[in-house]
Amino acid sequence: MRLTARQLRTLLPALSLVVLLAAIFYLQPRAMSYVGFNLMLNLAIPIALATVAQMCVITVNDLDLSIGTYVGFVACVGATLLSGGMGALPVVKELQASGALPATLPWIMQTPLVGVVALVFGIAVYAALGALIHWRNLPSIVVTLGMSFVWLGLSVLILPVPGGQAPAFLRSLMTLKPAYIPFPIIAAIVIAILANLLLMHTSYGAVLRGAGGNPKAIERAGWSLLKVKMTMFALAGFFGMLAGLSLVGLTTSGDANIALRYTLLSIAGVILGGGEFVGGRISPVGAVIGAVTLTLAGSFLSFMRISPDWQIGAQGAILIIVLAARTLIDRAERRR
Amino acid sequence: MNSFLRNLAGRPWLWAYVAAIAVWLVIVAFTGGRGGGEVLTAAFTFATFSVIVGIGQMYVVTLGPGNVDLSIPATITLAGAVATKVMDTQNGMILTGLLIALACGVAVGIANYALIWLLRIPPIIATLSSSFLVQSVAIAYGRGIRIKPPPALADFTTAQVLGMPVLAICIIALAAFMELVLRRTLYGRWVTAIGQNIRAARLAGVDVGRTRFYAYVMSAVFAGLCGYLLSGFSGGSSLSMGEEYLLTSIALVVIGGSSVAGGNSNVPGLWGAALFLFLVVTMLNTYGFGAGLRYLATGLIIIAVIVAASARRPAR
C-alpha cells in the first residue's frame, strides 16, 4: 500500500511520537510499565491542555503569548482561593496575624466559590479580548503580550511567593491510579477526543475553523465573526483554566512563574501536531500528540544520560526535524 | 498649537516622549524635585539595553505581518555567556569578546533565516525553534561559576559624563545611524517596501530574500551586542539575563509608534518608549506599588497604547 502525501502528512505527528517512544523503550525497557508511563507523562496533561487552548486561538489566525502566565494565574487561584477562599490569601493571613482581621473569618471569606468566580472572570477576560481584537482589528501578538503582564501581575498579587495548597479534589484527581491504563494516557485520549468532537465534528466547529480559513465567506453566510472570535478565545480560556487546575493538582502548590514556558511550548505543540498558523487548518488530535511528544523529549534525554540542560534544545530539534519532514512531503506532493 | 498637534499626528513617536516626560514630571512631583536627575540617569542606563534589541526587532517587524524575532533572549544569553568565558576577565580580550559576541549573533541570524527559507515556515516558528536550541547551548555552555567581565569593560558600561551614561550616548548615535539607514538608504527603503506590499516590492525588483536575510541577521547581531554589553554591565552573564527582552523588544516597537503590521517604522520612538517603560516602573516604585501592580500596569499600558494606535488609522 502506498500512502499519499496527504495521508503521510496527517500521520506525521503520530509517527514522530512512535519513533520517540520506540527510542525510549529501546534505551530503557523498564519505562514500558504502568509506573514508567505515569512518571513520563504526568506533566503532559497540563501541557496538552495548554496546547489545545493555544490551538483554539491559532484557528482564528491569532496567537496567544499570554497562555503561560494565564496558566500560572489559574494555578495561583487554584492553590489559594479555590482551596480556602479569601482566607487562604497570604494578604489576608498577614492581616489576621496582625490582628486587623479576626482569627475565624466569616463564611464569605472562606468559601471556595470566590475561586470559581475568579476562574469564570479569567474566561470572561479571554472572551472580551477576542471581542476587542476583532472590534479594533488589533494584532493579537501585542494584545496578548500585554495580557501576559496582566496575568503575571494578578498572580503575584494573589501569591507573592510560591506556596498555597491545591484543593484536595484536584490532588486526588491527578493522582488517580486506574486499573491497567495509566491516568495520563486516559486523560490525553479524553482531551484529544473532546477537542476533536468539538471542533471537527460539530456544525459550529466548521464555522469556527472557516473563520480562520475565509472570514469573508463566513461573514457573508450570515455568521457573526465577533461571536466566533469570542467563542474561540473563551474556549482558549477554558482549556487554559483546565491546564492550570491540572498543573496545580500535580504540583500541589502554586507559583506565578510556574508555567512561563507553556507559551512557547504550546505554540510548538500545535505546529508539531500539524496545525498551521493561518487558514484555520488545525488538528486537535495532532496538537495533543505534539504536546505529549514535547514532554517525552525530556524523558528521552534522561534515558540517554544527557544533561537536562539540553531538554529545551531537544524540543527545538524535534520541532525542526518534523517541520523539515513536512516540507519534504509537501515538495514530493508538488512534484507529482 | 495647531501645527504642534498636526506634528503629533504625523509623528506618532512623539507620543512616547510626551508620555515619558509626563511620567518623569509625576515622579519629580512626588519627590519634591529631589532625585530627578538620578532617575533620568537610571532611565537612560536601563533603556539603552532594550533599545539595542528594539532596533533589530523593529527592522524585522517592519518586514510585514508574521515577522517577529523570538530568538532575541536566547541570543543575548548565548552571546553573554560565550563572550565572558572567552574574555576570562582579561582587559586585552575585550575586542575579541565583542567580535565573538557579534559572531554568535551572525550565526543565530543565519540559522534563523536558513530555517525560514529552507523549511518555508513562518518566521515566528523558525525563530521559536532555533531559540530553543540556542537557549540550550547557552545553558549547557554557561553552566558553572559566574565569570566576571574584564574590569575595563565593566567600567565602560557603567561610565557617565555629566550624569549621562556613556553607553547611552553611543546607542543614541547608533539609533540615529539606524534611522538614517531606514530612511535614506536603498536597503532601508527596501525593508519598508517589503512590509508595505511584498508582491509589489518583488515586482519592483527588490531582492526580497536578501533584504529579509540581512534584517534577521541584524536583529540577532544586535541581540549579541546587547548580551555582550549587558554581561559587562551586570558583572557577568547569567542564564536568565535575556528573558525580559523578548516582551520588551516587541513592546518598544509598538509603543514607539511603529506599525505592527509592518511597512511603517521609526527608530526615535524606540528611545521614547524605552524611557517611558522604565520611568513607569520607577513611578510605581516611588509610589510604593509592589511587583504585582507594576506588572499589571505595564500590561494595561501596552494594551491601551495598541488600542489608541488602532484609533489613529481606522481604515486598514
B133 contacts A143? CB cut-off 8 A: no
Q: Cell 521559536: give the residue.
A: B128
Q: Residue B235 belongs to a domain with what CATH number?
A: 1.10.3470
- Interhelix angle A140-158/A67-79, nearest 10 degrees: 20
pLDDT, chain A, mean: 90
Chain centroid to Cα A25, Å, comes to 27
Write out pLDDT tens, residues A297-314. Answer: 877 887 778 887 888 888
d(CA B243, CA B149): 20
For residue A278, count other CB atoms closer than 10 A to its CB: 14
Chain centroid to Cα B279, Å, comes to 17
CA-based nearest residue in chain A for residue B120: A327
Terminal Cα distance for chain B, rounded: 29
Contacts B250 to A, Cβ<8 Å = 141-142, 145
Find the range with the poorest average confidence among A119-133, A162-176, A270-284. Answer: A270-284
B70 contacts A320? CB cut-off 8 A: no
Sign of CA dihedral B155, B161, B162, B163: negative
pLDDT at residue B104, as a whole number: 96
For residue A334, count other CB atoms closer than 10 A to its CB: 8
B286 belongs to a structural domain: yes
Nearest to A157 by CA among B294, B280, B288, B243: B294
Q: 3-class SS at A314?
A: helix
The model's pTM: 0.88
Contacts A319 to B, Cβ<8 Å = 125, 128-129, 132
For residue B163, count other CB atoms closer than 10 A to its CB: 10
Contacts A264 to B, Cβ<8 Å = 70, 128, 131-132
* pLDDT of B1 over the 60 cut: no
Pick from B72, B264, B295 the residue to mutate for testing the A interface (most A CBs within 10 Å). B295
Residue type at position B182: L
Write out pLDDT tens, residues B103-118. Answer: 999 999 999 999 999 9
B125 min Cα distance to partner chain A (Å): 7
d(CA B182, CA B197): 17
Contacts A137 to B, Cβ<8 Å = 310, 316
Q: Cell 494606535: give the residue.
A: B309
Q: How confident is the model at residue B316 (pLDDT cuts 50, 70, 90)?
A: very low
* pLDDT of B209 over the 60 cut: yes
CA-based nearest residue in chain A for residue B64: A139
d(CA B155, CA B149): 10
d(CA A50, CA A41): 15
Rg (CA), chain A: 21
Terminal Cα distance for chain A, rounded: 17
CA-based nearest residue in chain A for residue B128: A264
Report ipTM (2 d.p.). Answer: 0.86
B139 contacts A145? CB cut-off 8 A: no
B70 belongs to a structural domain: yes
Nearest to B256 by CA among B246, B268, B247: B268
Bridge partners (DSSP) of residue B165 are: B160
Choose among A132, A146, A152: nearest Cβ to B302: A146
Q: What is the mean pLDDT of residues A273-283?
A: 84
B140 contacts A149? CB cut-off 8 A: no
Q: Does A217 touch chain B (CB under 8 A)?
A: no
d(CA A159, CA A162): 6
- Are B113 and A294 spatial neighbours (Cβ–Cβ below 8 Å)? no
B13 belongs to a structural domain: no
A313 min Cα distance to partner chain B (Å): 4
B6 belongs to a structural domain: no
Write out pLDDT tens, residues A206-217. Answer: 999 999 889 999
Q: What is the mean pLDDT of residues A53-76?
A: 95
Q: How confident is the model at residue A2 (pLDDT cuts 50, 70, 90)?
A: low
B81-94 CB burial, b ≥16 within 10 A, e <16: bbbbbebeeeeebb
Contacts A157 to B, Cβ<8 Å = 290, 292-293, 296
B34 belongs to a structural domain: no
Q: Does A156 touch chain B (CB under 8 A)?
A: yes
B136 contacts A157? CB cut-off 8 A: no
A157 contacts B299? CB cut-off 8 A: no
- Are A159 and A80 spatial neighbours (Cβ–Cβ below 8 Å)? yes
pLDDT at residue A330, as a whole number: 82
Domains in chain A, CATH or no CATH each: 5-331 (1.10.3470)
B231 belongs to a structural domain: yes
Find the range with the poorest average confidence among A95-104, B121-130, B266-275. Answer: A95-104
Q: How confident is the model at residue B286 (pLDDT cuts 50, 70, 90)?
A: confident
pLDDT at residue B10, as a whole number: 66
Q: What is the mean pLDDT of residues B251-279?
A: 90
Eight-class DSSP state of A137: T
d(CA B243, CA A134): 30
> What is the domain count for chain B?
1
- Are A4 and A329 spatial neighbours (Cβ–Cβ below 8 Å)? no
Find the range with the poorest average confidence among A138-147, B6-15, B125-134, B250-259. Answer: B6-15
A142 contacts B293? CB cut-off 8 A: no
Contacts A145 to B, Cβ<8 Å = 247, 250-251, 302
pLDDT at residue A141, as a whole number: 86
Sign of CA dihedral B50, B51, B52, B57: positive
A268 contacts B129? CB cut-off 8 A: yes
Find the range with the poorest average confidence among A123-132, A206-215, B7-16, B116-125. Answer: B7-16
Domain that holds residue B202: 42-312
- Phi/psi at B193 (nearest 5 deg)? -60, -45
Q: 3-class SS at A266?
A: helix
B299 contacts A160? CB cut-off 8 A: no
B14 belongs to a structural domain: no
d(CA B117, CA A163): 46
A139 contacts B140? CB cut-off 8 A: no
C-alpha cell at A324: 523539515
Write out pLDDT tens, residues A132-177. Answer: 999 988 888 889 989 999 999 999 999 999 999 999 999 999 988 8
A311 contacts B247? CB cut-off 8 A: no
Chain centroid to Cα B236, Å, comes to 20
C-alpha cell at B279: 520611568
A142 contacts B119? CB cut-off 8 A: no
pLDDT at residue B314, as a whole number: 42
pLDDT at residue B124, as a whole number: 87
Q: How confident is the model at residue B8 (pLDDT cuts 50, 70, 90)?
A: low
A/B interface, count of CB pairs below 8 Å = 145
Find the range with the poorest average confidence among A41-55, B157-171, B302-316. Answer: B302-316
pLDDT at residue B115, as a whole number: 94
d(CA B122, CA B124): 5
B23 belongs to a structural domain: no
Q: 3-class SS at B160?
A: strand
Rg (CA), chain B: 20
* pLDDT of A127 over the 60 cut: yes
pLDDT at residue B242, as a whole number: 87
- Interhelix angle A203-213/A44-59, nearest 10 degrees: 70
A139 contacts B260? CB cut-off 8 A: yes
B295 contacts A150? CB cut-off 8 A: yes
Q: What is the mean pLDDT of residues B290-299?
A: 88
Q: In what helix (H) or strand (E) does residue B161 lie, and over which residues does it extend?
A: strand B160-161
Pick from B58, B112, B118, B133 the residue to mutate for testing the A interface (most A CBs within 10 Å). B133
* pLDDT of B310 over the 80 cut: no
Q: Does A180 touch chain B (CB under 8 A)?
A: no
Q: Does A16 touch chain B (CB under 8 A)?
A: no
H-state helical runs in chain A? 5-27, 34-41, 44-59, 67-79, 81-84, 90-98, 113-135, 140-158, 168-174, 183-200, 203-213, 215-220, 225-251, 262-272, 284-303, 311-335
Choose among B261, B291, B299: nearest Cβ to A147: B299
Beta carbons within 8 Å of B197's beta carbon, 6+ residues apart = B263
